[in-house]
Amino acid sequence: MNLVLVPGRDTAARFSSSPLTHQKNHEPELAAFRGSSWASATGIRLVETGRTPFATGSFTWIDDQGREVFVRSAAVLVAGRYHLVIVIGPEARRDQVQARHAHVLATCRPTA
């Protein structure tokens, strides 16, 4: 299982002011999802905490070695920059991936 934290790499001005669009179409960490011949996404939603919008969702795909990958991702937009909280693991450890992502997201809030 891997935890990926990306602090403000992508800008809303360059990619999109919608966290959902950024996550679905531009997030480099989900490129394998977008390029997979078999992939699914569930629980995609936009959430606003105060004035901070973020997209969250679950993504599953078959990697180039035939393994089923499960990812929980959150793209948080703060001061025009996307901060990403991503946990990647095997589908067989879905519950652990979800629990770790929820814990990190609850304890790691980017601020302007």
In tens digits, what is the pLDDT along the chain, a chain of 112 residues? 999 999 999 999 999 999 999 999 999 999 999 999 899 999 999 988 778 889 999 999 999 899 999 999 999 999 999 999 999 999 999 999 999 999 998 887 655 5
The residue to which tokens 């390029």 are assigned = 35
79 torsion bin: left (phi>0), alpha (psi -120 to 50), beta (else): left
Q: Residue 84's pLDDT is what?
A: 95
Q: How far apart are CA 110 and CA 46, in angstroms?
A: 17
Q: How far apart are CA 15 and CA 94, in angstroms?
A: 29
Q: How far apart are CA 49 and CA 53, in angstroms?
A: 6
